[in-house]
Structures are given as C-alpha cells and as structure tokens.
Amino acid sequence: MSSLLQAFARILRQPVVRAVLLLLTIGFIAVALSRQWENVAASWQSLDIAWSWVAMATTVVLGTYAILIHSWRILLSGWGGHLSYGSATRIWTIANLGRWLPGKVWSIGALGYMASREGVSGVAAAGSSVLGTLLNLGAGLAIAVVLGADGLEFIAPGFRVVSIVAAVGFVVGVAALPRLLPPLLGAFAQRRGLPLTSQHLSANQLWLATGLNLLSWVAYGVAFWMFSRAVTPRISGDPLVFIAVYSASYLAGFLALFAPGGLGVRELALGGLLVGLGMAGQGDAAVLSATSRIWLTVLEVLPGLLALFTLSPGQRAALRRSQDPPATPSR
C-alpha cells in the first residue's frame, strides 16, 4: 500500500499531471456555471457591495493572521526558538505566498528555512513549521465537522457520527503529541545531522497553540459570513454553518495539491455546499465564490509581497535557492 501511495504522489508531482487536473477542475466549474448562466448573470447585475461589511471582514482576516503568527511563535518557543513578532510576521507572510505554488510544500519549507536564517535551531524551525500546518489542518477539520454536523447531515446521512469520531480523534491526537514528538524529532535530527534538542513542547504550549488554531478557523468563518452579507445578502444561514462551509471548502482547496491556492477546487466545494445546504441558489453561490476568491487572494498575497520587498537581493536569492530541487549528478 505504501508503495502505491508513493507512486501516486510521484505522479501528482509531475507538472503536466497537475496542469491537466487543474484544467479539468476549472472546466468542470465552467460547464456547471454555463448551465446556470441566467441565474449567475442576474446575480452579477444585481450586485451591490456594502463596503462597510467588507472592511469589517478584512479587519477580522488580518486579526486572524495575527493569531496564527502567535500560534507559530508558541511552537517555536517550545523548542527553544525565539523570534520577535516583527520578524515572525515577515517570515510568515512571505511563506504564505507558497500557497500559490503547486504542491503547497514550499510554504512549509520557506517557513522553516527563513526561521533558521534568523538563528532558530533547525529542529525548532522544521518542527514548528510542519507541526503548525498539521495542527491547523486538524483544527479546520474539527471545526468543519463539528459545527457543520447539523447542516451536513442533510447532504450525507451519518455525518453526525463522523463529526463525533473526528473530534475525538483530534483531541486524542493532540493529547498524545507531547509523548510522540520527542522521539520523532530525535530521529529527524539524527537523520538530518542536526543537534538534538533538550527542550520540547509542553502540554500547555501545545494546547494553547491548538486553541489558537481553532479560534482562527472560527474567525475566518465569521469574516466569510460578513463578506457574504456585503456581497450576497440573499444568502441565508446561521453564522456557525458559514464557519463550517468556509472551513470545509478551504480544506478541500488546500488538499488539492495540484491547484495553486486551491484555485477552482475551493470554489467548486464552496458553491456545492451553499447550494446543497439550501443556503443559496446557483447564481448567488457562484458570485460569492468568485468575489470571495478575489478578496482573499488580495489579503493572502499583498502582505507577503510587501514583506518580500523588505528583503535584500541576497536574502531573496538565498530563499529561491533553498526551494530548488537538488541537482542530479551527471554520469
């Protein structure tokens, strides 16, 4: 089974395969929209953006970034790594640009690399970047299945049981991490030739970081609900369902490794959930998917670009080299 998974992962890493999958996804969305074009066109024509709601939603998203940055700093400090909030913000926002590269691994690698350039140990830099991503994904899944259990039960009977199992599994997994991480990091350090660390994450630090990640998904969902009020006020639904829908669609886009920034996949999942739950018609769902994509893309890319311009040419060149695959020796 592992060999099959490895072979599948190698296939997905091929640029041609990723491009084909992305084109198929976008094509599927285009066909779906063309069938509902009259509804979509009517929704676009009646679009009247309430900019005060957009401003509030944007403020919440930027505040969520601050929460996630602090969560990462907590993980770093657990392994003896320390960064000022300014340095951590610069590194995190630049690494966030990696979402727009196929594979999503660039973001994790850049986070660890730039932290190590600031004097953080290799174990702390690598461990915090990987663990932070895993905690965030797990927290997002827990939020989606727990808060969306009532609504998603109508789409997939038995979802309530799945939500309970997922929530329990997430809590058990986080509780087990303080015991699992030291030997795993020790093996990683030996394999990479890094010095062993004598300091490890405490249970309190781990739970605090987990709580902040859970809070970040709630905040993202609230911001999405606010944005929906600004763009498509006809879409109805409890804010908790908006949080679940946003989390589920975002995770779908993130896990589609072939799609930069989850492009196409996130919109497909978002529209399908909004319509399937009876929250919106096809037209309004398509409008909200498209406009929220533009809004969130600006908020994801602009801070990283501004931070990237603060780096020296040498620092930018070193960052690019850190992401290059190792050269194949000539024969």
Give the DSSP letter of residue 329: P
Average model confidence (pLDDT) across the chain = 75
Contacts of 2 (CB under 8 A, 6+ apart): none
Residue 325 has pLDDT above 50, yes or no: no
Handedness of CA 34, 25, 139, 120 (dihedral sign): negative
Token digits of residue 129: 């970047």
Residue 236 has pLDDT above 70, yes or no: yes
What per-residue confidence (pLDDT) applies to 53? 94
Q: Whole-angstrom Cα distance, residue 192 to residue 173?
A: 26
Using CA atoms, how far residue 53 sits from 64, 227, 277, in Å, is 17, 6, 24
Q: Whole-angstrom Cα distance, residue 13 to residue 17?
A: 7
Q: Whole-angstrom Cα distance, residue 139 to residue 97?
A: 21
Highest mean pLDDT among 33-37, 139-143, 219-223: 219-223
316 pLDDT band (50/70/90 cuts)? low
What per-residue confidence (pLDDT) applies to 71? 93
Task: Show me where the domains of the chain are located.
Answer: 65-323
Under a CB-based contact definition with an 8 Å cutoff, are residues 247 and 220 in contact? yes
Please state whether the predicted TM-score (pTM) of the whole model is above 0.85.
Answer: no
- The number of helices, as runs of H, and strands, as runs of E, in the chain is 14, 0
* Long-range contacts of residues 15-21, Cβ cutoff 8 Å, at least 24 apart: 15/102, 17/258, 18/102, 18/257, 18/258, 18/259, 19/258, 21/256, 21/258, 21/259
Residue 222 has pLDDT above 90, yes or no: yes
Contacts of 69 (CB under 8 A, 6+ apart): 85, 88, 89, 92
Average pLDDT over residues 304-315: 76
Closest alpha carbon to 235 in 198, 273, 269: 273
What per-residue confidence (pLDDT) applies to 58? 97
Q: What angle do CA 46, 227, 268 make, to 5 degrees?
A: 80
- Write the pLDDT tens digit of every residue in 45-74: 556 788 999 999 999 999 999 999 999 999
What per-residue confidence (pLDDT) applies to 224? 95
Handedness of CA 257, 258, 259, 264 (dihedral sign): negative
Residue 214 has pLDDT above 90, yes or no: yes
- Write the pLDDT tens digit of every residue in 136-183: 888 888 888 888 766 666 556 666 676 677 777 877 888 777 777 777
The amino acid sitting at 153 is E
Average pLDDT over residues 206-231: 93
